[in-house]
Amino acid sequence: MTIEFETPKPVENARFLLQTVADNMMRPVSREMDENEHEIPYGYVEFMHTAMKAMGGGSAGSLAPAEEKKSADPNKPKRPSVAYQVLANQLEMLSWGDVGMYLITPGGGLGAAAVQAAGNAEQREKFLARFNGEKPTFAAMCMTEAGAGSDTSAIRTRAVLDEATREWVITGEKIFVTAGDKSFNEHPEFGKGFIVVWASIDPTAGRAGMRSFVVEAGTPGVKVTKLEHKMGIRVSDTASITLDAVRVPFENILGSPTVEKSTTGFKGAMATFDATRPLVAATGIGVARAAFEEVKKMLAEQGVEIRYGLPRQKLSSIERDVIDMEIMLKSAWLLVLKAVWMADNKQPNALESSMSKVKSGDIVTKITQKAVEIMGPLGYSREYLLEKWFRDAKITDIYEGTGQINRLVVARQVLGYSGSELR
């Protein structure tokens, strides 16, 4: 397996545009957005919606890459896709700007990723096309429940088919839904979004009975009951959602409507995570890079030079800390690049996906904590963004599968054990 380290042109173009966005639209209001939780920066949202449409295909907020365009010349060699590599770079740069604001970038989020991973061609065309409409549009994935966090196979939300009307009737409650309010509640400024609800069509079948359903905004019986007040990523809404005998069309199920012996439905969920975990890891690396670069800048302003190339015993303690931060940052980024390169090349990447997520969640916490520690009172002060990045960092290790769960995934992949054999 050969991975090219030369940056593809589409990646360079994406980073150039989003560097400008991060510098001029995110950093200047980062503190204000943190102080005013759940306030929506409409100017940023509108600009990013227009910009992502102009760039073509999947928006930075969608976590779902654009469909590859087929060449008119059948004899022309097919170029390898770089869609996931572009997305990883987009998300890293936007998160360097402000990870909370990145999370309200218009697009499909995990909801679109679920449709992309588990939906058929008709469903992808119907639901994903709306993100290129006139208004900014959002989608969300509803998986976590009070009794089913990291163990997604323990979901209790139920979907029953009404044979008379050929509709699915869904009942349950979901918590910690990123962008749940903007995706389901109808806002005049936004297009019609949707939520993807994970439910069981046969609780006796265990994982084989798990399926996901697209529930469109405004559907009767769905209610956003709570918005969480959080330590970090405060501009992003994180919602609790109840579903009371909610009726959705038969064709809104993602995957087969029949229960087989295989765990197809559960594998659909895991396929979503294999695609998105490296991208979430990229967001953590963006936060870590922001803290690392700010520390180097602040130290340089105080006359502290990092002397690369000297033996460690000749370096000061601060120099060793900064160099170690950089090593962690670059090694984590290489894991992300490998995982998204494999996704682009249609190679199974469950191991690499979880490894990148574990590493990113680990290093972003360590780097932001060390940044606050090195700068002391300045790092702890709200005058600077270091303390905010420290608060924003920890979520990387929690959502999209906790660090503990992803370590289990890695162990199972390396040792060849099933989920029931190694828990």
Q: Is residue 221 part of a domain?
A: yes
Report the distance separating Cα 358 and Cα 278, nearest Å.
10
| Residues 256 and 272 grouped into a single domain | no
Q: Is residue 2 part of a domain?
A: no
Q: What is the mean pLDDT of residues 82-91?
A: 89
Instruction: Convert the pLDDT of each residue in 145-193 to its tens digit.
Output: 998 877 777 899 999 999 999 999 999 999 999 999 999 998 899 999 9
Q: What is the 3-state secondary structure (H, E, C) of 275-298?
A: HHHHHHHHHHHHHHHHHHHHHHHH
| Residues 272 and 411 grouped into a single domain | yes
Q: Is the pLDDT of residue 411 over 90?
A: yes
Question: pLDDT band at 13, cuts 50/70/90?
Answer: confident
Instruction: Convert the pLDDT of each residue in 238-294 to its tens digit.
Output: 999 999 999 999 999 998 898 876 555 555 556 667 888 999 999 999 999 999 999
Q: Single out the residue in 238, 260, 282 at which a domain terminates.
A: 260
Q: Single out the residue in 260, 285, 311 at which a domain terminates.
A: 260
Q: What is the mean pLDDT of residues 76-100?
A: 87
- Bridge partner list, 214: 196
Single pTM value for the model: 0.90
The answer to whether residue 383 is catalytic is no
The CATH number for 291's domain is 1.20.140.10
Q: What confidence score (pLDDT) does residue 60 get?
A: 40
- Alpha-carbon torsion (262, 267, 268, 271), positive or negative: negative
Q: What confidence score (pLDDT) does residue 304 get?
A: 95
| Residues 254 and 325 grouped into a single domain | no
Please indicate whether residue 360 or residue 14 has the higher confidence score (pLDDT). Answer: 360
Q: Is residue 127 part of a domain?
A: no
Q: What is the mean pLDDT of residues 74-78?
A: 62
Domains in the chain: how many in total?
A: 3
Question: pLDDT band at 377, cuts 50/70/90?
Answer: very high
Question: pLDDT band at 12, cuts 50/70/90?
Answer: confident
Q: Is residue 130 part of a domain?
A: no
Residue 10, both tokens = 């589409």
* DSSP symbol at 401: S
Residue in 92, 352, 387, 400 annotated catalytic: 400
Report the distance separating Cα 46 and Cα 34, nearest Å.
20
| Residues 316 and 390 grouped into a single domain | yes
Query: 113 CB contacts (<8 Å, ≥6 apart)?
Result: 62, 63, 64, 141, 272, 275, 276
Q: Which residue range(s) make up the domain with 28?
A: 9-67+80-118
The CATH number for 107's domain is 1.10.540.10
